[in-house]
Amino acid sequence: MTAQAITVLYDGGCPLCRREINHYRRIAVDLPIEWVDVCLAECDLARFGLTRQDAMQLFHVVDATGTLRVGAQAFIALWSVLPGYRWLSKLCRGLGLAPLLEFVYVRFAGWHYRRRCRDGVCGLPPEAPRS
């Protein structure tokens, strides 16, 4: 593990997301990871060039080089620094699985976001119905 910190942006208002992040936090207790709940009012997403809606729709990680990773690439970047998950990161990179993971994740995340936010439950204005 590099001594440089990474930043993980997550939707702390989503029970599924919160449960997964809490798992990662337990195994990463001594690692230099900044955990940013994008639902908190004091969260400054402008420093990442994101809106709250952007940050809630997909998972984001700023890796140790300062590169913003999104979706499957964000998970792979996080896994690469976590004990017990580094092998998964290497496997995904080595076998070129990122495009497949991205395909599946983007569809799941879109469905999950629409389901969670359709009635304004997520704190954002409800989306207009699509015609």
**Consecutive 10-residue runs of the chain (131 residues): their mean pLDDT?**
77 91 94 94 92 92 96 96 95 95 94 80 52 42
Burial of 96 (0-12, 13-18, 19+ CB in 10 A): exposed
CB distance 58 to 72 below 8 Å: no
Assess if residue 131 is contained within a domain. Answer: no
Q: Which amino acid is at 44?
A: D
Q: What is the pLDDT of residue 25?
A: 96
pLDDT at 48: 94
pLDDT attached to residue 130: 43
Q: Please give the tally of structural domains in the chain.
A: 1
Please name the residues in contact with 7: beta carbons below 8 A apart, sequence gap of 6 or more.
Answer: 33, 34, 36, 48, 61, 62
Provide the domain limits for residue 15: 6-117
- What's the distance, CA 93 to chain centroid? 18
pTM, two decimal places: 0.85
* pLDDT for 69: 97
CATH code for the domain of 31: 3.40.30
pLDDT at 121 (0 to 100): 63
